[in-house]
Structure 1
Amino acid sequence: MSWQATGKVDKAVIYSRAGDSVWASSGGLQLGANEIAEIARGFDNPSGLQSNGLHVQSQKFMLLRADDRSIYGRHDAEGIVCVRTKQTIVIAHYPPTVQAGEATKIVEQLADYLIGVQY
């Protein structure tokens, strides 16, 4: 996927907006059914994420931001960026060597592109 060329994201996955199917994946990132369901619900009602954080590959991330478009989480120096588009949920992981703002910019730009092409 093109975001890997930036070096700001080390693994990512694109789910359907409902979170019931994987459309694309790289770097081996895949969430459990309960993990993607938790994130999908969090866009509309972030209270569960605010209370419990979000979970990706059995790792708990502290919630930094949650609204109807974007969810950001952090664990130590690594993080997760989730962005919902018209038809997808893009989830990307960035390593400790990357600043959060650098990774979020890449993922948000990809989401803007997908929205622009009606995805």
Structure 2
Amino acid sequence: MSEDKSWQTYVDNNLVGSTYISEAAIYGIKGGLWAKSEHYDHEDDLFEAIKKGFSDSEFILATGLRVRGEKYMTLNADDQEMKFKCGGKGIICAKTVQAIIITFHTDEVQPGNANNALGVIADYLRSVGF
């Protein structure tokens, strides 16, 4: 499944449309980009690092992430959610039954607001087995 219109609606309306998320993408757990925001231009290695972090939180806690030449420190990592920070900017990721959602927020946004915007979608997808 690639860039399906229904998945794009989640990204455009619920994530980026919340105004708390600046960039977002939804990937299948097994790989494959399902939908992304207009300015999301990250390589698959970001997805692979995040996917590995969900199964090996010690790895991601120790290494953090390097995105666009910047080091993001890991704030939290477990089997359903990960949070990273670089200055005031952040990355918040969620794993559902079949998807991994990656979101970015700017330093103008309160991280809790970005986390809530992602949490609503992730909780809904988990509740319907997705």
Same fold (TM over 0.5): yes
CA distance in 1, matches of 2:34, 2:70: 22
Alpha-carbon contact 1:30-1:57 (below 8 Å) kept: no
Correspondence 1:60 to 2:71: yes
Q: Which residue of 1 aligns with 2:24?
A: 12
Give the C-alpha shift of residue 67 in structure 1: 0.2
Q: Which residue of 2 aligns with 1:81?
A: 92
Q: How many pairs align?
A: 118
Correspondence 1:97 to 2:112: no
Higher alpha-carbon deviation: 9-18 or 23-32 = 23-32
CA distance in 2, matches of 1:97, 1:115: 29
Alpha-carbon contact 1:64-1:71 (below 8 Å) kept: yes
Higher alpha-carbon deviation: 46-55 or 59-68 = 46-55
CA distance in 1, matches of 2:116, 2:69: 25
Higher alpha-carbon deviation: 35-44 or 76-85 = 35-44
Which structure 2 residue ranges, 5 or more long, are not aligned? 1-11
Q: Which residue of 2 aligns with 1:111?
A: 122
CA distance in 2, matches of 1:12, 1:6: 11
Q: TM-score, normalising length from structure 2? A: 0.84
- Sequence identity (%): 29
Q: Which residue of 2 aligns with 1:32?
A: 43
CA distance in 2, matches of 1:24, 1:57: 20
CA distance in 2, matches of 1:16, 1:60: 25
Which structure 1 residue ranges, 5 or more long, are not aligned? none
Q: Give me the CA root mean square deviation.
A: 1.4
